Amino acid sequence: MTDPRPEAQVVLRLENITKRFGKLTANGAISFDLRQGEVIALLGENGAGKTTLMNILFGHYTPDEGHVEVFGMRLPAGNPRAALAAGVGMVHQHFTLADNMTVLENIVLGTRSIWRLGFGRAQARQRIVTLMEDYGLRVDPDAQVGSLSVGERQRVEILKALFREARILILDEPTAVLTPQETDDLFATMRKAVALGLSVIFISHKLHEVMAISSRVVVLRHGKLVAEAKTSETDRAAMAQMMVGSEVAAPVVRRADPGAALVTLAGVSSPDIGSAPGLKNVDLELRAGQITGLAGVSGNGQTALADLIGGLIRPASGTFHVKGDAPRGWSPHAAISAGIARIPEDRHKTGTIADFDLTENAVLELYSRPGFSRHGWMNWRAARDFAAKIIRGYDVRCPGPETRIRLLSGGNMQKLILGRVLETAPSVVLANQPVRGLDIGALTYVHEQLLAARDRGAAVLLISEDLDEVTALSDVIHVISEGRLSPGFARGAMTPAELGVWMAGDGFEEAPHAA
Amino acid sequence: MDILDILLQASFWTAAIRIASPLIFAALGELICERAGVLNLGIEGIMVVGAFAGWLTVYLGGGLWFGVAVAMLSGMAFGLVHGVLTVPFGLSQHVVGLGITLLATSLTYYCYRLALPEVTSPPKIEAFQPLEITILSDIPVIGPALFNQTPLTYLAFVLVVAVTLVLYRTPMGLALRAAGEDPAAVEAQGLSVSAIRICAVMVGSGFMAVGGAFLTMSAFNSFFFEMVNGRGWICIALVVFGSWKPGKTLLGAVLFAAFDALQIRVQQTPLGADIPYQIFLMAPYILSILALVVMSRRAQVPAALMVPFNKGER
């Protein structure tokens, strides 16, 4: 990306923005400028204050101090309508689209006076089609949003902003949900937008993307602006260091020493779960002492696989073996008894009970084991000792074992789950999105622990949407798409682009007709 | 005398459409509330209020249409209370709705006693008279059924068309539906979810009150206690039956009314002599439940129905 000329007009100015939530200062006196035709990458760990800052800019939150100027005009605080009218368009991390309405209806929403009688449907469609061509955003205007893929929905969000003649686009972690190919398409759209004179703020923590697309980086840490640099004058290592505030060491991966297959699936299929596909004729082996990585865009059957191994569902067809036996009456209880320990995908919903304390959460799956209960009575002393051991051993930062778990940060909650999982010396570890939403410190810790579990001889299944994470840790990588599983690829055998082809659903042989 | 003969009588269909009319008003009102994301269980009580307010206005010397307007406004007042409690305050829509029903019903009876302390049998009013539309009413069977009704019935059908057009063909309808599907999307577009939802509940409650007023001003010509008799609850089911679509909801109302008209007539046939009449009274409800089971399995519930929206919440 070329640098915009230094004399380019300032289109957006953040001036001394401060926002507090209770005791937490989410943004502390942040100021920076965005110039016309520029892509600023806003970098920072989770909880660094990026999303809060953008919500202030867009008027969702009112800042406690400071103000926003767009094209030299000061925006009234806390007023999304004013931000929209001034030409600020925002694509949220969580899309704000109504599923049961069409693309066209979603785009037109709010752009017409509500006292107007007709829609101006034909005219709106004409404009949308023109915008699609200008910016390379293909999507059917009459499709129901609920039937679209995640990538398509994102295009609708961008179209929505462009339809309102946005001159400044804010993209909040747009690539988190995309395949590498869709990311390339998005970048092409961003380049077209910049060429047409728009300016972009791009939020991400994927450093290679930041290098590829941005002209300038702004780094936030703990709510403060800690660094600002031209992309051409910095590099990935420097940016990572600015984000975390200290040198980051990638985990050292020793060679794996695979042992026996502990979990085996042969030709396994399972029913669809709502709109998410079930498994389709899946072959998979989880070997002791090996990390098996599962790459794929979310919602492609990861949940079905995790639920199957975790005991929540049973295979509809095919053979399923755990440690050589075909389990009868497969259930979560049977899975736990078989030594399968789970790090669930959603630590808030299925991993913990928010208003239970750490002790109760620590023994959530283990309460029936001898030691924690006898003759149907809980042994709370043992449970508390167990929780205390996890807190010490896994560096869970908390006031004590009687703290309600909802008060912990995501990272500390995940460490408790990790401790609960690993303290039982499981033979199989099912890690579903184990570092989602964690900052780099906690993330590195979780990764080290998973590697240590592998080295102790556990079979680890790592499910993640982050391809970088999967390729960094896994000894064998499978790609899942539409419930189909690719063959296993050895570490380093495939480039990210090649894996991306599989993630997009290409490369699979036609499914046999019998299926 | 068979059921088939009954079904071919013009008077049967005239009765069915008349019975359906209050249900159409109230179900349409409920539909508007629910499409914006608010379940309005105040419907039963608001219908009582409308029935009383309309009737009292005429009894005290007001014009018929003025009575309809007063009924509508009194319904909207209760709608405002419901909307303020459930939308900005985000209270439980179930509890608030049932509370409104209890409050509105008791308040109405209280006002009735205040207005008419001495009366034992409820006084009649000069109500709406059927308005025959020439030529069209000469069509066999459906002619008299559809075109020899009171003006309020015609209004009900007109409103179904109007609400359909507004919901699907105007920016206002788009904003209202979006508020019930994804309020965050509405807020992100710079519209106020609170304003849209409160207005929807007010207008919807106004419609419910007119449905109640139909009972006193176009059917029974006087006001007595318990006259709404669960019609509000039926309307809640009709909205589900109609998959939150005005046209299908109208169809459901007519269907239910036809069952109701049918059971009264079948009771008078020889068949009716052998079977306890309670069975006939139950029949429309049982058939409605069966129809509901069949029709509503594929219904698309507004995604944000009963989900309070708090702006700026983390």
Q: Does residue B191 sit at the A interface (CB-CB below 8 Å)?
A: yes
pLDDT band at A416 (very low <50, low <70, confident <90, very high): very high
Predicted pLDDT of residue B250: 96
pLDDT band at B111 (very low <50, low <70, confident <90, very high): very high
Report the pLDDT averaged over residues B165-179: 91
pLDDT in tens, A280-312: 999 999 999 999 999 987 778 888 999 999 998
Report the pLDDT averaged over residues A348-360: 86
CATH homologous superfamily for A261-339+426-503?
A: P-loop containing nucleotide triphosphate hydrolases (3.40.50.300)
Q: Are A39 and A217 in contact (CB under 8 A)?
A: no
> Rounded distance, CA A341 to CA A422, Å?
8
Q: Scan for tokens 């409820």, then name that residue.
A: B122
What part of B 136-175 touches A (C-beta under 8 Å)? Answer: 169-172, 174-175
Is B310 a residue whose pLDDT tops 80?
A: no
Report the pLDDT averaged over residues B151-177: 93
Count Cα neighbours of A34 within 13 Å in the Cβ-side half-sphere: 28
Q: Does residue B270 sit at the A interface (CB-CB below 8 Å)?
A: no
Mean pLDDT lowest among A13-22, B189-198, B290-299: B290-299
Q: Does residue B30 sit at the A interface (CB-CB below 8 Å)?
A: no
Predicted pLDDT of residue A246: 61
Domains delineated in chain B:
3-121+149-295 (1.10.3470)
Q: To probe the interface with A, which of B164, B172, B174 has the most A CB atoms within 10 Å?
A: B174
Of B182, B311, B312, the CB nearest to A96: B182
Contact residues, chain A, for B189 at CB < 8 Å: 80, 84, 109-111, 160
Strand partners, A322: A263, A325
Cβ of A72: how many Cβ atoms within 10 Å? 10
CATH homologous superfamily for A10-244?
A: P-loop containing nucleotide triphosphate hydrolases (3.40.50.300)
Residue B178 to residue A98, Cβ atoms within 8 A: yes
- The radius of gyration of chain A from alpha carbons, rounded to an integer in Å, stands at 25
Report the pLDDT averaged over residues B89-113: 95
pLDDT in tens, A152-191: 999 999 999 999 999 999 998 888 778 788 889 999 999 9
Per DSSP, the three-state class of A237 is helix
Domain boundaries, chain A: 10-244, 261-339+426-503
pLDDT band at A340 (very low <50, low <70, confident <90, very high): very high
Is A2 a residue whose pLDDT tops 70?
A: no
Q: Give the tokens for residue A158.
A: 């961008």
What's the predicted TM-score (pTM) here?
0.73
> Rounded distance, CA A404 to CA A358, Å?
6
Is A251 a residue whose pLDDT tops 50?
A: yes
Residue B182 to residue A99, Cβ atoms within 8 A: yes
Distances from the Cα of A23 to the Cα of A15, A26, A400, A438, angstroms = 22, 9, 21, 21
Residue A110 to residue B302, Cβ atoms within 8 A: no
pLDDT band at A201 (very low <50, low <70, confident <90, very high): very high
What part of B 69-108 touches A (C-beta under 8 Å)? Answer: none
Q: Are B231 and B101 in contact (CB under 8 A)?
A: no
Is B105 a residue whose pLDDT tops 70?
A: yes
Contacts of A306 (CB under 8 A, 6+ apart): A342, A344, A345, A430, A432, A463
Distances from the Cα of A287 to the Cα of A334, A418, A419, A492, angstroms = 19, 20, 22, 18
pLDDT in tens, B242-287: 999 999 999 999 999 998 898 888 888 877 778 888 888 888 788 7
CA angle B260, B264, B265 (to 5 degrees): 115
Contacts of B33 (CB under 8 A, 6+ apart): B39, B40, B200, B201, B204, B205
Contact residues, chain A, for B190 at CB < 8 Å: 79-85, 110
Report the pLDDT averaged over residues A83-108: 88
Strands A290-295 and A88-91: unpaired
Q: To probe the interface with A, which of B167, B168, B170, B186 has the most A CB atoms within 10 Å?
A: B170
Q: Do domains A10-244 and A261-339+426-503 have the same CATH topology?
A: yes
Is A512 a residue whose pLDDT tops 50?
A: no
Q: Does residue B200 sit at the A interface (CB-CB below 8 Å)?
A: no
Contact residues, chain B, for A61 at CB < 8 Å: 312
Report the pLDDT averaged over residues A467-479: 89
> Rounded distance, CA B156 to CA B17, Å?
10
Is B54 a residue whose pLDDT tops 80?
A: yes
Of B170, B174, B303, the CB nearest to A117: B170
- Nearest chain B Cα distance for residue A325, angstroms: 41
The gap from C-alpha A493 to its chain's centroid, in whole angstroms, comes to 25
